[in-house]
Copies of this chain bind each other. A is one copy, B any other.
Amino acid sequence: MNHRIAVTDGLAKEAILYLRKEEYVVDEVSFTKDEINKGSLLDYDAVIIRSATKLDKKAIEANSGGKLKVICRAGVGVDNIDINAATNNGIMVVNAPSSTTKSVAELTLGHLLSCTRHIPKGDRMLRDGIWAKKELRGSELFGKNLGLIGYGRIARNVSNLAIAFGMNIHAFDPYLPNEMFGGITKHETIEDLFSNCTHISVHCNLTEDTRNLVGEKLIDLMPKLGADGSNCGRYLVSLSRGGIVNESELFNCLNNGKLTCAGLDVFETEPVLKNNLLNSDNFIGTPHIAASTVEAQIRVGLESANQIINSLNGEVPTNLINKEILD
């Protein structure tokens, strides 16, 4: 009998067609929390979720003991899955981490350029009938120091793009071995990173160590002038996870001029409906769309499909999160 796969939060149609061509039965379904807690996934060999479906301990226990062998997160973050519960119930957890890298890196440069050149502000003022040519003098990325908090896959991709703009790359990542910092400047402390960089981009995970990590105390350390001696201003962007940047301190730094402009794609509370930052003229917000491109979503779908296929074929999937399950 063919394997059955539940897709609960949508998936690129290219990936669904691919799985069906490989003779999997794919059901695009929508379950309430209650239905999941009553075992609606018991009859599926695999489930592909995004962020909407929450698989906590209760949900996982309710769906174990049946056919369910693998949970796939079509994306990167697995914070909506209780990994321990999955491991304890013999269910593999996989994700699709590399598919979205390019999209996130491109939007990071988009946010940086939007900040340094006041693009949304200029557009907003034009729509309000104001030709603010003089007020909107910007600065170049060229010749400046870009500080990356975290130097994982996405940060390294951002680094490659920023180098093309003539930026000097600095990074702080206490979890990476020295040989991963080839060609860029590694800093031993985050204070040292901020002390050297007029431009900062956040690329770490949200953990208890990184919650509220970035605030006024670090921003205070940023240099007054660019590495090229120019009066370029100071900029901060984050497209990683909400909660790493302290939003109320960010708001203060935008208002007191310690930061020239800041861009966030991620927020402490999402969706954002009300947020003080949106009253700041020098803030740029986007609604968590860093991975939201047609190309990334097709790649995520196909990468997820291949993870499922490998798992159900009895192979060890390359993106297995709970490796303890193999012990």
Q: Are B126 and A286 in contact (CB under 8 A)?
A: yes
A140, B295: Cβ atoms under 8 Å? yes
B287-A131 in contact (CB<8A):
yes
Q: Which one of B137, B230, B288 contacts A292 once the chains associate, using CB atoms below 8 Å?
A: B137
Would you call B289 and A165 a contact (CB within 8 A)?
A: no
Taken residue by residue from 108 to 147, chain A's Cβ proximity to chain B (1 for < 8 Å, 0 otherwise) reads as: 0111011011111011111101011100111111110000
A30 to chain B, nearest CB (A): 15
What B residues does A230 contact at CB under 8 A?
294-295, 298
Kindly state the separation between the CA atoms of A36 and B166 in the bound complex, as whole angstroms.
43
Does the CB pair B113–A278 fall under 8 Å?
no
Residue in chain B with minimal CB distance to A160: B164
Interface extent on A, as a size class?
A: 35 or more
Are A294 and B232 neighbours in the complex by a CB distance under 8 Å?
Answer: yes
Given A110-B117, A137-B289, A138-B289, 12 more A-B residue pairs with CB atoms under 8 Å apart are A102-B140, A103-B140, A106-B165, A110-B110, A110-B113, A110-B116, A114-B114, A126-B285, A131-B273, A132-B287, A230-B294, A230-B298
